[in-house]
Structures are given as C-alpha cells and as structure tokens.
Amino acid sequence: MSPPLTATQRRALLTHPAGWIATALGAGLAPTAPGTAGSLVALLPWWFGLRGLPPGWYALVLAAGFALGVWACGVAGKRLGVHDHGALVWDEVIGMWITLIAAPAGWWWMLVGFALFRLFDIWKPWPVRVADRRVHGGLGVMLDDVIAGAYAYVALLILARAWNVFELS
C-alpha cells in the first residue's frame, strides 16, 4: 500500500498529461482502494464501446493502451519519485480490458470478470509477483496487471464455458 500523496506530489502528477492518464483521469486519487477505483473506471468504456469491437480493433486498442500506459506511468513515476505508487492505475484499466475479452453478454459476466481481475491483481500469483518486484519503470507498472488480466481472462473463459455446459445439461 502506498502512502498518501503529498500536496507537492499531487501537483507534480496533475500538472502533466501523463499524470492524468496514469491515474485514469483521477480515479487513482481515491483515498481508499485506488486500484479498485481504477478497475471500476475501466468498466465504463468497456461496456459502452470496447465490448462491441471486432477482435482486431479490440487488440489494437489494448496494444495502444498498453503503450500509452508504459509511457504515462513511467513519466508519472519519475515525477512522483516513486516507482509504482498506488495512484497509478492505468495498469488496472488495461488489465480489466484484457480480462473482459472473454466476457459473455450481460452485466453479470462483467462483474465476475471484475472480481477475478481484482483477485489475481491482489493475490499476485507467479509470475505476476515476479513482474511486480523485478521489472521497473512504466513497463514494470503495466506488466504485472497485464499478467493478472491474462490469468483472470483464462479463469473467466473457463467459468463461461463451464456455465454454458451446465446450462445445456
């Protein structure tokens, strides 16, 4: 858990566009559970736009969002003087979007994906924990949540397939 931002850090963060991107337009400034706030913010653009994209466009959005996050979180981290402060939550946004690739139609599955992503992001099973501890800079901020998102994606896919099997029985 990161210490609260000082007034100087907050100013350094929010006087640069990278800070706004890295905090997911300020969601990361939530006083408690900023990662959860960032994950929740990710649901809105997914529900209202991304979920309807063809797979190729979805992949392009993810790649561009990842690259943007590496840059923004790297710049924001340098401005804060902290490698991976809790306020930097763009990684949660991309992790959620990765998770929800497999989400079947319906808000229920979006919530299941949200819960799975938060589980893997907090639990940090191998290699998520390794990426979190050993990879630094903007790439390090982004990488552990991308891996957590991949775990959650697979878990959601398995649950959705199992549910479909049980519905047909």
Span 97-116, pLDDT tens digits: 999 998 998 899 999 999 99
The model's pTM is 0.94
Condensed to tens digits (0 to 9), the pLDDT of residues 31-87 reads 999 999 999 999 999 999 999 999 999 999 999 999 999 999 999 999 999 888 999
Using only C-alpha atoms, the chain has a radius of gyration, in whole angstroms, of: 16
Integer Cα distance of 169 and 165 in angstroms: 6
pLDDT at 168: 54
What 3-state DSSP class applies to 86? coil
Residue 165 pLDDT class (50, 70, 90 cuts): low
| Structure tokens, 123 | 């639990």
Based on DSSP, count helices (H) and strands (E) in the chain, helices before strands. 8, 0
